[in-house]
Structure 1
Amino acid sequence: MSNWADLTTGKRIKHLRGSDLTQQGLAEAAGLSLALVQKAEQDRGELSVGSLLKLTHALNTDVSVILGQQAPRRATSQDTRAALRRLSDAVHDSALGGWDGIEEPSTVAELAAAHERVCAAYWQGAYGELSELIAKVLLEGGARYGHTSGHERERLGSLLAGTYQFASSAAILLGQRDLALSALTSARRLAEDSGDAVLAALVESTLSWIYLRSAKVPRAIAVAERAALRIEPSFSKATNPQLLGYGRLMISAAVAASRNGDAASADDYLSQAHAAAARIGHDVAQYGTHFGPTAANTEAVGIAVALGNHGRALTLASRTQLPGSIPKLARNRYRLDVALAQCAVGLHDQAADTLIEVALDAPEWVKHQALPGVIGKRLAKVSTARVRNISELIGMPLIA
């Protein structure tokens, strides 16, 4: 695609509409005539402010994007843009107290069940469903939270904190850093108010991840270390939630240290994560996160890749068995690390097959990952034609 700012407004509208929405569909969604949409895409005449706002809403984007002041995120589909808009509205409206239209919010039990569905949707990469569920919990839970007290308030606070945390994680995956930080600010406040030390620590783990994705590696390490110290367990007496929270924070620190090229620190942190996983003895899922021997092993592969130890990464991978219970996103993030290691040691056919498996298993999620492009460029050095065939098969450009 040409430089976004150099395109005409009509071409920007056409690009945002994409192949999944017809001109008639856009006209109906915006409440405009088909003739007006056609004229807009052909740059015939000036759009009124009202028409521009209606098109913006129908395309689930911002006026600045249509006007060329801000480029859209690469490979973001119409459905994903709609999910992001719902996510943003839910996070900000709930934080600001936007309870309009909520006459009788769901019960705490119903909201708890919705939160469980939030967890499942996140780990499946189902962003449309996820954004709808997050909106339900945040808006209805927030409306109820202001009128409760005692145990019910604490329970609601924990549910809301966990849901804001998922909103933050989804936002950072979809490239929306500011939205992720906004959601996490609310999550942190509610987690601290709930008095749940493990939940508060896991919120900090998400913050560490945001800093890592923002290339603020020392801060990512510091946040994870500080939070881990607050809940550092006595391994002989620790509960599974404490071990899960501590182990996850040690993994956060290890991953960040590996991105900084600090192999010694990464190994130290990782050994603590392995110890916590061994103490639990099996994979567990609590607080909407997964931890145990599988997580420690798969993360060790990614850390070895980041440190350039590709042979070791593949050796570790050969010893790692993925149980059926591993979430889709965790499974495919691990596979991308394996594909990168395969590529680095010259196993190009295997790397290509692994990349195809990931893209077909999680087609929307993979579009928002950086590693497929890295792998594609390395494979292109061997066979550009093969990479173009892969791109066509998975519906995602890997090279320009």
Structure 2
Amino acid sequence: MSDWAELTNGKRLKHLRGSDLTQQGLADAAGLSLALVQKAEQDRGELSIGSLLKLANALNTDVSVILGQQAPRRGMNQDTRAAVRRLSDAVHDSALGAWDGIGEPSTLGELSAAHDRVCASYWRGDYAAFSELVAKVLLEGRARHAQATGHERERLGSILASTYQFASSAAVLLGQRDLALGALTSARRLADSSGDEVLGALLESTLSWIYLRSARVPKAIAVAEQAALRIEPSFSRSPRPQLLAYGRLMVSAAVAASRRGDAVTADDYLSQAHAAAARLGRDEALYGTHFGPTAANTEAVGIAITLGDHGRALQLAAQTTLPATMPKLARNRYKLDVALAQCAAGLHDQAGDTLIEVGLDAPEWVRHQALPGVIGKRLARVSTARVRSISELIGVPLIN
């Protein structure tokens, strides 16, 4: 909320506690008295540093948020805040080499299987399971990596780098930019030490996305373009992993170019992405990153929308078939783009139906997206009653 800093500490505490936690529940979780929590929410006296730390820990937030120095993430419930805290602890503790488990850390095979579950939970938008799995892989993986040699060490380095990349991507979605950059820094070091050139290129795609989300568009383009040049394939004989990484980087560059309204450059990059996808011939995934004909086609829809060509976007969407294997979050991100184009074309009923599909399919993920609110405001110009009905159905406030 924009006026977060203008609230009192007590009002901020009450807001953070929300309706899913009573004052007594907060007191119990923080190890404080009910009377102290009641006085704090009523702004009756100053809280000690010790009490602030206990309250922040119980609310899965930071002291800076309680004090109004930093606003909370919109729509983040208790479970998601807990997931963010676990994710942050895992990223930082693993980088510092902290693992206090009993016995030996998990084996390479066990960590590889856990990494696969990290990928699956990320693409489902299941942040609770995701954060727990990330913590396991990073903390135990770093401990195992410190002991390993040769091929095992290289393989563990790739698994860890990919897991840090997922942690970075999730942090971006949850509005934690500094955590995203911290996780990606660890990922790049591990990828460099493992000698995995393709993984290193995929990490640059994530960095480009972070810059794009931070409105640093020229930097986003430059990062993607430079990484692509380093692995630019010969389309007649390049390995498939190289084609996948190159195509994903070209998509990143095309999306960023479209954000600054450069249709010609965006189209050039997109053409390269389509060429890589055509050479692959099918959708593939590497280290949990997906690319192929479906990704090239769906990203083309989003780019057309960004450039203001909504008719073209809907035409491309009509020609695009989503396979059952498409990850849930990728599918729903694409559907939000389609809903936006439907709004712009005056297809308000269709846009509302598309928004409902997304909200019901990925209820936790959609709360952290900006587009539902944009679409809701546009639909409200036609019918506020319909928008309020959609809000109630998907559990996301779309208009005030």
**Equivalent residue, structure 1, for 2:116:** 116
Give the Cα separation in 2 of the matches to 1:25 and 1:178: 31
**Equivalent residue, structure 2, for 1:284:** 284
Give the Cα separation in 2 of the matches to 1:102 and 1:246: 42
Give the Cα separation in 2 of the matches to 1:52 and 1:136: 29
Give the Cα separation in 2 of the matches to 1:136 and 1:194: 20
**Equivalent residue, structure 2, for 1:210:** 210
Shift of the 251–244 alpha-carbon distance from structure 1 to 2, 3 Å rule, reads same
Q: Letter of the aligned partner of 1:256 in structure 2?
A: A
**Equivalent residue, structure 1, for 2:23:** 23
Cα drift, residue 168 of structure 1: 0.5
Cα drift, residue 45 of structure 1: 4.1
Cα deviation 1:84-108 (Å, max 9, x = unaligned)? 1111111111112222345421111
Which stretches in structure 1 are left out of the alignment for 5+ residues? none
**Equivalent residue, structure 1, for 2:64:** 64
Give the Cα separation in 2 of the matches to 1:367 and 1:330: 15
DSSP 3-state at the match of 1:209: helix
Give the Cα separation in 1 of the matches to 2:127 and 2:164: 15
**Equivalent residue, structure 2, for 1:159:** 159
**Equivalent residue, structure 2, for 1:79:** 79
**Equivalent residue, structure 2, for 1:270:** 270
Give the Cα separation in 2 of the matches to 1:51 and 1:100: 27
Cα drift, residue 202 of structure 1: 0.1
Shift of the 119–3 alpha-carbon distance from structure 1 to 2, 3 Å rule, reads same
Cα drift, residue 16 of structure 1: 0.7
Give the Cα separation in 2 of the matches to 1:249 and 1:68: 38
TM (normalized to structure 2)? 0.97
**Equivalent residue, structure 2, for 1:367:** 367
- Percent sequence identity over aligned pairs: 81
Which stretches in structure 2 are left out of the alignment for 5+ residues? none
Give the Cα separation in 2 of the matches to 1:66 and 1:260: 37
Give the Cα separation in 1 of the matches to 2:140 and 2:57: 24
Cα deviation 1:87-144 (Å, max 9, x = unaligned)? 1111111112222345421111111111000000110111111111111111111111
Cα drift, residue 384 of structure 1: 2.2
Q: CA RMSD in A?
A: 1.4
Give the Cα separation in 2 of the matches to 1:328 and 1:346: 27
Give the Cα separation in 2 of the matches to 1:13 and 1:102: 37
Give the Cα separation in 2 of the matches to 1:343 and 1:5: 34
Structure 2 residue 241 is the aligned partner of structure 1 residue 241: yes
Cα drift, residue 35 of structure 1: 3.4
Cα drift, residue 397 of structure 1: 1.5
Give the Cα separation in 2 of the matches to 1:226 and 1:127: 32
Structure 2 residue 148 is the aligned partner of structure 1 residue 144: no
- Map residues 312-331 of structure 1 onto 2, 5 A cutoff: 312-331=312-331
Cα deviation 1:263-301 (Å, max 9, x = unaligned)? 111111111111111111111122111111111111111
Shift of the 208–2 alpha-carbon distance from structure 1 to 2, 3 Å rule, reads closer
**Equivalent residue, structure 2, for 1:50:** 50
Moved more, 164-173 or 381-390: 381-390
Q: Letter of the aligned partner of 2:68 in structure 1?
A: G
Q: Letter of the aligned partner of 1:180 in structure 2?
A: A
Q: Letter of the aligned partner of 2:262 in structure 1?
A: D
DSSP 3-state at the match of 2:13: helix
Cα deviation 1:293-322 (Å, max 9, x = unaligned)? 111111111011111110010011011111
